[in-house]
Amino acid sequence: MALTKTQIESVESIIRDSLLNKLETYHPEPAVMPFHTRLLGKDRLALYAFIHSLNTNFGTTIFEPVTVALASKQFKIARHNVKSGNQMSADAQREIQNIMDGLTATNQRPDKSKEIEIIRNICQTGEMRIVKPTKVDIWLEDENGEIYLIDIKTAKPNKGGFKEFKRTLLEWTATVLSENPTAKINTLIASHIILMHQIHTVDGQWQACLI
């Protein structure tokens, strides 16, 4: 699907403003790294620190806003860095822990559809507790009300990381369903590499395929 002129200008503006802001506000933190300094030299170490700072900053200043800019043409709602909710039932918390324990012990295989329905059935039973789950990187909602909650990762996670990501997706599900038990919900982990690879040109025309 071809990008509109407005989307192209929006993406260009997001990237340009992010880089300019980083250049204007970057202040290197003093670090005592004698081994790295002797091995790489001060200039290379300073360049590495700047690039590392850019990488950690790109998620919220480029990847998420660009995704929203692209999604705005296809989805009724497209937001980034938002809360999934602030409450979860005690039964849902307990069930999420049971799911995590079963996966960790390999007593069960991942089954997202089944897990969502399990949480849906008890999303409003038991004491409702105030929680602060990790913010949703990308929140999309189509014309039919179907919700997509996306966690964008900029680096390949290790095994421990995946466990925490899985818990985060389950908590998002529980908090959304606590407010709307009938919601059609999808949770995903996406790589920024996938996002950037989906933006390309065909015969000089910008093209994009989101998610």
Instruction: Determine the residue type at 38.
Output: R
State the Cα–Cα distance between residues 193 and 30, nearest whole angstrom: 31
| Residue 202 covered by a domain | no
pLDDT at 200 over 50: no
| Residue 50 covered by a domain | yes
Residue 130, burial from CB neighbour count under 10 angstroms (0-12, 13-18, 19+): exposed
* Residue 208: predicted pLDDT: 38
| Residue 206 covered by a domain | no
User: Same structural domain for residues 98 and 144?
Assistant: yes
User: Same structural domain for residues 85 and 49?
Assistant: no
pTM here? 0.78
User: Same structural domain for residues 69 and 92?
Assistant: no
User: Same structural domain for residues 42 and 128?
Assistant: no
User: Same structural domain for residues 121 and 22?
Assistant: no
Compute the average pLDDT of residues 41-51: 80
* Residue 43: predicted pLDDT: 80
Report helix, strand or coil for 148: strand
* Residue 157: predicted pLDDT: 65
User: Same structural domain for residues 61 and 120?
Assistant: no
pLDDT at 199 over 60: no
* Residue 205: predicted pLDDT: 43
User: Same structural domain for residues 69 and 96?
Assistant: no
Domain count, the chain: 2
Measure the N-to-C terminal CA separation of the chain; round to a whole number of Å: 13
Confidence tier at 204 by pLDDT (50, 70, 90) = very low
User: Same structural domain for residues 125 and 163?
Assistant: yes
From 46, 75, 104, give the residue that closes a domain.
75
User: Same structural domain for residues 100 and 167?
Assistant: yes
Query: Which of the residue ranges 57-66, 152-161, 190-199 would you say has the lowest mean pLDDT?
Result: 190-199
User: Same structural domain for residues 65 and 153?
Assistant: no
Confidence tier at 114 by pLDDT (50, 70, 90) = very high
User: Same structural domain for residues 59 and 123?
Assistant: no
* Residue 145 belongs to domain spanning: 81-193
Compute the average pLDDT of residues 164-171: 94
Most confident option among 8-22, 37-51, 80-94, 151-165: 80-94
| Residue 204 covered by a domain | no
User: Could you tell me which of 22, 13, 11 has the C-alpha nearest to residue 57?
Assistant: 22
Question: How does strand 77-82 pair with strand 87-89?
Answer: unpaired
| Residue 205 covered by a domain | no
Compute the average pLDDT of residues 4-26: 85
Confidence tier at 69 by pLDDT (50, 70, 90) = confident
Compute the average pLDDT of residues 127-142: 94
Compute the average pLDDT of residues 157-186: 90
| Residue 123 covered by a domain | yes
